[in-house]
Structure 1
């Protein structure tokens, strides 16, 4: 009987945290889900974001953020919105804005509902983007990793409730 209870408890934990994508497992040691949140704009569900870090511990030097899209988007629009969010948090370096915008427009594909993108930050602050296990491209500037992921994870995010759910109390 106790084995069945342990099995059921394990399945409940597994279901609650889901499967860690292979790209994340291969890039983040001991990757586990820190938190998850759905982003809704007015009454439209846009995506579900999931944050992974070693042993589900935040803050982390290496981590991954997965966005499961619930609507179709053009890659160019994702890049434009990312720059807008970074600017709203104080990014004002024109050279970086131009470089990062060009990189994201080159990297981000058009997305259809049900598809996902994963951004992974390595120990050197290099950000690599993946779709369906395939690397789309990388931005090697550690400043990019900070500004880009602060869209969701930084204290100046435009979506503090989403941040709170992603960090799951880990940054308090």
Structure 2
């Protein structure tokens, strides 16, 4: 009976881990800001930034939620991310790192349809988790990747400074 109980507890623990949602990784999360991303006039996604504090620091987890308005393939999402990581990272990011990150993002991302949501959670000193809806899709245990990835939206050199300001709560959408 004792062995059966241990197996049952293990199964319960694994089920809870698999079904954990992103809010558990960012306790007390509140909306910092929101905006939309458009390219060539097309509405691509709505973005929302969640944090337990009103400022982002390396010591605090946060979540970036993207609600897609169009169908986009996983390959296109990964390619766009790699291009931005390369642009922002410059010589500080090696070709080997980019290749490893690309492989990880292939596991973290999915083909999206209008209305789907992917949430990335920044875990300071650890890496990032990616959720599709409320289900954890993949975790990348690489702090350098996590910082570089979220810089696509939050670095002052982002391609969309207006969206950055909206996410940080500096400007209204």
**TM-score band (shorter)?**
0.7 to 0.9
The 8 Å contact of residues 152 and 159 in structure 1, kept in 2 or not, is answered as yes
1:118 matched residue in structure 2? 119
- 1:121 Cα deviation (Å)? 1.5
Segments of structure 2 that go 5 or more residues without pairing to the other structure are 1-19
- What TM-score do you get using the length of structure 1 for normalisation? 0.81
RMSD: 1.7
Is the partner of 2:57 in helix, strand or coil? coil
1:85 matched residue in structure 2? 84
- What TM-score do you get using the length of structure 2 for normalisation? 0.81
Further displaced range: 159-168 or 49-58: 49-58
- 1:72 Cα deviation (Å)? 0.4
Cα offsets for 1:78-124 (capped at 9, x unmatched): 01100101111134311110000011112211000110100012233
Segments of structure 1 that go 5 or more residues without pairing to the other structure are 1-21
2:75 matched residue in structure 1? 76
2:99 and 2:34 map into 1 onto residues whose CA distance is 31
1:89 and 1:148 map into 2 onto residues whose CA distance is 10
The 8 Å contact of residues 89 and 148 in structure 2, kept in 1 or not, is answered as no
Is the partner of 2:144 in helix, strand or coil? helix
Is the partner of 1:89 in helix, strand or coil? helix
2:26 and 2:140 map into 1 onto residues whose CA distance is 17
Is the partner of 1:162 in helix, strand or coil? helix
- Which runs of 4 or more aligned residues in structure 1 lie more than 6 Å from their structure 2 counterparts after TM superposition? none
2:69 and 2:56 map into 1 onto residues whose CA distance is 26
Cα offsets for 1:143-171 (capped at 9, x unmatched): 0111100000011111111101101129x
The 8 Å contact of residues 34 and 56 in structure 1, kept in 2 or not, is answered as yes
- 1:59 Cα deviation (Å)? 3.4
